[in-house]
Amino acid sequence: MTFKTLDDMDLAGKIVLTRVDINVPVEDGRVTDTTRIDRIVPTIRDILAAGGTPVMLAHFGRPKGKVVPEMSLRQVVPALEAALGQSVTFVERPDRDTLAAAKGPVLIENTRFSPMEEANDPQMAQFLASLGDVYCNDAFSAAHRAHASTEGVARLLPACAGRSMQAELTALETALGTPKPPVAALVGGAKVSTKLDLLGNLVTRVQHLIIGGGMANTFLAAQGIDVQKSLCEHDLLDTARDIIAKAEAAGCSILLPRDVVCAAEFRADPPTTVVKAEEVPAGQMILDAGPDSVAHIKTLLDGCATLVWNGPLGAFEMTPFDAATVAAARHAADLTRAGKLISVAGGGDTVAALNHAGVAEDFTYISTAGGAFLEWMEGKTLPGVAALEA
């Protein structure tokens, strides 16, 4: 896809409506994780350096079209100022004159305080467009929503991608749009049902599909393996078989666990056994992929040029069921550092797992977008991205 960036826009003297994602965790009125704020800093600074006035549009929480004081963006201002190293003007009810007179960055109150935001009401889009001269979307994580501040206004002003959005789209295009083959996708997580569209799209786009986590149990059961008490969606066995058949038709190999780590109960550090996938002891459950499975994953990655990762290989939140995820992640990181692998990962559990493995900084790109990342991988059109296409 082609889209304009800040480098393509004349920003001097312009009011730049900048959609950002600063929907950050807050406790007792203080931001506890500034990751999303940190990611928008390059965009805001570049707009300022080009002579523009960045006016930030953002949502916070789910106020459902009503003014909810506890969801005011005012409480985010101190963290925003600390990240930018300068003062930020907070505006509850914006008008053109107020924004034109601003000296430096501006943050407008929660867009979702209006019911017209999530309805993508043309009236709100027109109002927002009247406030600025250029529109910049730097919130990929909100790009799967067709809202007034993500899609409506983008159609009414010269539009471009901010630095974070630009990096995200470039990384995803590298991973799935025009990737360097062979491409492997590692998909884990609890349930097949939440990733049906994802799996169906990936088997036609990648050469190898590694399936882990609880969803792997459903695929094992679909092949006639008794997974005992393991998490398994028995009503989706036919669906799993259909995905396997689709993969075979597309020439995509599917790698399932060959051996597994089992326990009688799901808790930290219980007695465990490592057995072949088809030999799960009676009354036990699969909670991680075994060492032989990890060895095969490593070998497969050694022969790949691109990796897309979404979801853990086991119940990584508890030891020792983090072993497979950590080992595979560290191997992928080693290959990436050596310049042998392009690695792109995303999704909440994935980010947590890679941080747990200590390799988040070593992957080529990690998306914090969650739903938007998944929908992109599912092959869906993201309204906020489509509105930027040149």
Q: Which residues pair with 262 in a beta bridge?
A: 273, 286
Peptide bond into 182 cis (omega under 30): yes
Report the run of H or E that residue 374 belongs to, with start and end.
Answer: helix 371-377
Query: Any binding-site annotation on 317?
Result: yes
Instruction: Give the three-class secondary structure for 91.
Output: strand
Q: Is 348 a catalytic residue?
A: yes
Q: Is 36 a catalytic residue?
A: yes
Q: Which among 191, 246, 258, 330 is annotated as catalytic?
A: 191
Instruction: Give the three-class secondary structure for 281.
Output: coil
Query: Any binding-site annotation on 337?
Result: no
Q: Is 191 a catalytic residue?
A: yes
- Indicate if the alpha-carbon torsion angle 357, 362, 365, 367 is positive or negative: positive
Q: Which pair of tokens denotes residue 218?
A: 């459903």
Query: Any binding-site annotation on 23?
Result: yes
Q: Which among 36, 39, 163, 205 is annotated as catalytic?
A: 36
Strand order through the sheet with 306-310: 253-255, 208-211, 183-187, 306-310, 342-346, 365-367
Q: Which pair of tokens denotes residue 385?
A: 């991205």
Peptide bond into 320 cis (omega under 30): yes
Query: Any binding-site annotation on 349?
Result: yes
Q: Which among 65, 104, 348, 370 is annotated as catalytic?
A: 348
Q: Which among 65, 104, 370, 371 is annotated as catalytic?
A: 371
Query: Any binding-site annotation on 348?
Result: yes
**Alpha-carbon distance 109 to 175, whole Å?**
36
Query: Any binding-site annotation on 61?
Result: yes
Query: Any binding-site annotation on 21?
Result: yes
Query: Any binding-site annotation on 59?
Result: yes
Query: Any binding-site annotation on 321?
Result: no
Query: Any binding-site annotation on 127?
Result: no
SS3 assignment for 194-257: HHHHHHHHHCCCCCEEEECHHHHHHHHHHCCCCCCCCCCCHHHHHHHHHHHHHHHHHCCEEECC
Annotated binding site: 21-23, 36, 59-62, 112, 145, 195, 317, 347-350
Annotated binding site for (2R)-3-phosphoglycerate: 36, 112, 145
Residues labelled as active-site residues: 36, 191, 348, 371
Annotated binding site for substrate: 21-23, 36, 59-62, 112, 145
Annotated binding site for ATP: 195, 317, 347-350
